[in-house]
Amino acid sequence: MKLLIDIGNSRIKCGISRKRGEVEQIYVFESIEELNTKLIYFDKPALIYLVDVSSSNLKDILREYFIKKRWGKFKELSIADNRRINVCYEKKSEVGMDRVLIMISALAQLNRSAIVVSAGTATTVDAVISDGTHLGGIILPGFNLIKRTLLKALPKFNQIDMSLNDKEKIFNCSTQSCLTSGLIYSWAKSVDAVILEMKNKLAEMGEDAIVMITGGDGILLMRYLTVDAAYDEAMVLKGMTYIEE
């Protein structure tokens, strides 16, 4: 049994895997304290894989926790563990391991070219063809990052309720709805345009790419895409299951 942990900039996700491509008991936590309260109920894993794209010290806290518990081998995954994706970056270490794991997961599930989108603090869009060649990608600001930036720049709007609902539309009749819809459309339509251009470029190469979405804002993004796409919340974790021990 493997314990898989994905530390992002705003959330921690973990799950259990007993075979390649499968993740069970997926949990999402907002803090290390929440994670610790759940770990005590986990069976002892034979192996612990962790990927960390944050700038926090959470991985060090977890490493000490697992040493004290005398749990299985602990390994923080890095680009050096990648054997499946031919990353296009000249400096391979610059690409986030979470992006690589998402591409690994997509190719393993689809066995064909894919455009993979991770909608989190940042929104990453990457194209990978069926032989594992990473053509490249784009990083855009995430929805909540755009929202925080706008509210910081326009303090008088800080008291406006920007919570999301099902009423976002193009014709709005209040400042609140204008801002909410404007934020969503400026983000989602930008991502949609990138996906469409990538699909067209891939089509010129003879590649019919499937679009896969993951990340905390992935469901929201799906509502505004004009292309067919599938959502999988566990793509990073599933990608870990294909890493050799």
Q: Which amino acid is at 116?
A: V
| Backbone phi and psi for residue 212, each to the nearest 5 degrees, phi listed first | -120, 135
Retrieve residue 183's tokens: 């934020």
Greater pLDDT, 48 or 152: 48
Same domain, 142 and 175: yes
Number of domains in the chain: 2
Number of neighbouring beta carbons within 10 Å of residue 242? 16
Last residue of a domain, one of 55, 76, 97: 76
| DSSP one-letter code for 133 | B
Mind listing the pLDDT tens digit for each residue in 198-225? 999 999 999 999 999 999 999 999 988 9
Contacts of 48 (CB under 8 A, 6+ apart): 2, 3, 4, 5, 66, 71, 72, 73, 74, 75
Mind listing the pLDDT tens digit for each residue in 27-67? 999 888 888 888 878 888 989 999 998 877 888 888 888 87
Same domain, 205 and 90: yes
Give the pLDDT confidence score for residue 62 in this predicted structure.
Answer: 84
pTM: 0.91
Give the pLDDT confidence score for residue 155 in this predicted structure.
Answer: 79
Report, as an integer, the average pLDDT of 219-239. 95
> What is the rounded distance in angstroms from the CA atom of residue 151 to the CA atom of residue 155?
6
Same domain, 107 and 174: yes
Greater pLDDT, 104 or 74: 104
Q: Over the chain, what is the mean pLDDT?
A: 90
Same domain, 86 and 47: no
Same domain, 62 and 163: no
Last residue of a domain, one of 57, 76, 95: 76
Give the pLDDT confidence score for residue 71 in this predicted structure.
Answer: 83
Report, as an integer, the average pLDDT of 220-232. 94
- pLDDT at 165 exceeding the cut of 60: no
Considering the chain, what percentage of its residues have pLDDT values greater than 90? 60
Q: Which amino acid is at 14?
A: C
- pLDDT at 159 exceeding the cut of 70: no
